Structure 1
């Protein structure tokens, strides 16, 4: 009997030890996207990308900031000499993860043709350099950008786009899957289809905003189906890793809680931003109010029962959550006459209002309580204050950004302590860079970049984040 008890205790101890060994460390990281930081426009056989076209030929930033700016040089992170210095800054920061994206137009310049081996080798070396530094690569396969030649073929408006993307994504997974343990299929479909493209539509005076908004849903659904296909492919390879998707999740709140129109508008926007993508992933259906709106403004929208079953059967292994601020919403009498759909900047104060980190906690608990508590990484969280990002005596004092990060981490860890399945926190961004339609006018980095000289200078927030990581090493 004594021997039996000793054996039983030993087995329990061994199981506990094995469980501890299997437990993955909490990831602390920073994030970038290829177009925003790499530069190296047309270098090493790179093809023209959608964003190359939008910035160089359309001049998209002229519409938003009144000045033509591009990512042709950006912060030069394609250059290995430069990014090795940046990896050293990551090591000094104390992070153990780096989220970055691959450039489809580098890897397959013509979108569907031959693979560019030079580009594949570049990312091989980058991944190896990160691993050698003890930094896990979180590889985003697609972050808004794709070869411009496919844009001329209507991009996600073309049913063939799914096959073009699948070819690209499977090429990447087969190449890097043995050493990259976390892939991300897509970044923020809501932002891509319903904000940026809706803005371009408004500038070109095409469809009325509501009709255009709802017409985009077929593209979003195509991307969701493609996401499920690539996840299935990844799982069929039985690689020792995980694959997920990143959504921007922004809880909506009424501008005035006493006004029924604002309350109704906020509820509707919350569904369109959040539930529209969470529900198919975790419940196998689109929210009814969204479908009713689609039938009214886009009768041709199709999402079959088989589609929804396929999406639900191929769930992501983890969900990346990008959170910056809640949406504070004003509305009219009925949801579908929301002023924000007509691009009225005075109607909705979204992502520019007061810092509300408790809404990050709310979205994490919502995932826990309403969506089965999926494995979550906060894949973007950060802010930019023009008044703070000024270099004085070779220092950048940005206490508001430092406070923003500190408070959001506190609320995120509160959710974790209360059972949310949170496994990592990633700041947007490690470096000041090209911020899409804001160009270089808005800095969100922990590290200040002099865009003329490429000189890097860590900000106060860099050191605040460093202390946060050191204080939470036991997670």
Structure 2
């Protein structure tokens, strides 16, 4: 069974697994249901209230620095009908729910009314929403990996169906599209009052074919290409005067991934998990990033 982890994503299932799931609904499918999302929304509301309190405490403590919040954000794209209801709804559920609360002091009305059908007691007060907005962080951490491909599908939660990744070399975490990261940053800049942003996660893994051992280096050309393509977008966004103050690649080392354990790798440096000393070997993406950083001045005409 192959798991995908973006909004609207579904299982890729064998016929046998499909048969058993037809008898017993899968926990994953249940988690994406409107009813489950309504329960999650209540938990998220309290998380945002706690976040606001932490921000206020930080500022009252007069600490020298900035405090932010990191969010998993992704543009919702309908490849066939760009302005479809599925694309708009997906964006409200996945991106707008938290951002509207932080920057506008409200939740998207259409999504909130949908949640109320399953969680009638969920009635955020005006004072709570005001508190969330007043506790807005200094910057938004943007965790971006890929766009979310969707289509209208009334059989799916919110009417949002998943569109399969058609990339020739698919990554674990969705279609490779640096251009959509720029689109996301432009959308955030336009709709949420030009916030300061930091790319707090951006990365990819392509499987064993992109993790081949060379002479003293692990060869991962697909990850290297992904990294350089998205780093280029960072420079384009800054050239457009988008307030983007940092970029962090996920990740420096191969590590434990939430859904994948140690099986799927995302690091710039390979870790041998079968070696008691956890031997580390740099990858070609590591050297590609090193070269990209060292050539910054030359590319941008800096003195």
Scaled by the length of structure 2, the TM-score of the pair is 0.82
Q: 1:64 to 1:352 in 2, by over 3 A?
A: closer
Residue 375 of structure 1: aligned partner: 196
Query: CA shift at 1:293, angstroms?
Result: 1.3
> Which of 222, 241, 251 lines up with 1:419 in the alignment?
241
Post-superposition Cα deviations, 1:69-114, rounded to whole Å, max 9, x if no partner, equal: xxxxxxxxxxxxxxxxxxxxxxxxxxxxxxxxxxxxxxxxxxxxxx
- 1:463 paired with 2:284, answer no
Query: CA shift at 1:209, angstroms?
Result: 2.4
> Which of 253, 259, 283 lines up with 1:431 in the alignment?
253
Aligned partner of residue 245 in structure 2, secondary structure: strand
Contact preservation (8 Å) 2:254, 2:270:
yes
Aligned length: 274
2: distance between equivalents of 1:278 and 1:213?
17
Contact preservation (8 Å) 1:64, 1:438:
no
- 1:446 paired with 2:272, answer no
Q: 5+ residue gaps in structure 2?
A: 10-24, 166-171
2: distance between equivalents of 1:207 and 1:469?
41
Q: 1:271 to 1:335 in 2, by over 3 A?
A: farther
Q: Which has the higher helix share?
A: 1
- 1:244 paired with 2:62, answer no
Q: What is the 5 A alignment of 1:307-386? A: 307-333=128-154, 336-338=157-159, 340=161, 347-349=162-164, 352-386=173-207
Query: CA shift at 1:334, angstroms?
Result: 8.2
Q: 1:337 to 1:282 in 2, by over 3 A?
A: closer
Contact preservation (8 Å) 1:327, 1:349:
no
Contact preservation (8 Å) 1:252, 1:267:
yes
Query: CA shift at 1:394, angstroms?
Result: 3.4
Residue 397 of structure 1: aligned partner: 219
Query: CA shift at 1:337, angstroms?
Result: 4.6
Aligned partner of residue 77 in structure 2, secondary structure: strand
- 1:407 paired with 2:229, answer yes
1: distance between equivalents of 2:236 and 2:58?
33
Scaled by the length of structure 1, the TM-score of the pair is 0.54
Q: What is the 5 A alignment of 1:3-402? A: 202-203=26-27, 209-257=33-81, 263-333=84-154, 336-338=157-159, 340=161, 347-349=162-164, 352-386=173-207, 387-402=209-224
Contact preservation (8 Å) 2:86, 2:160:
no
Residue 472 of structure 1: aligned partner: 296
Residue 90 of structure 1: aligned partner: none
Contact preservation (8 Å) 1:218, 1:302:
no
Over the residues paired in the alignment, what is the CA RMSD in angstroms? 2.8
Contact preservation (8 Å) 1:432, 1:443:
yes
Post-superposition Cα deviations, 1:184-240, rounded to whole Å, max 9, x if no partner, equal: xxxxxx98x999xxxxx9439978822112111100100000000000000000011
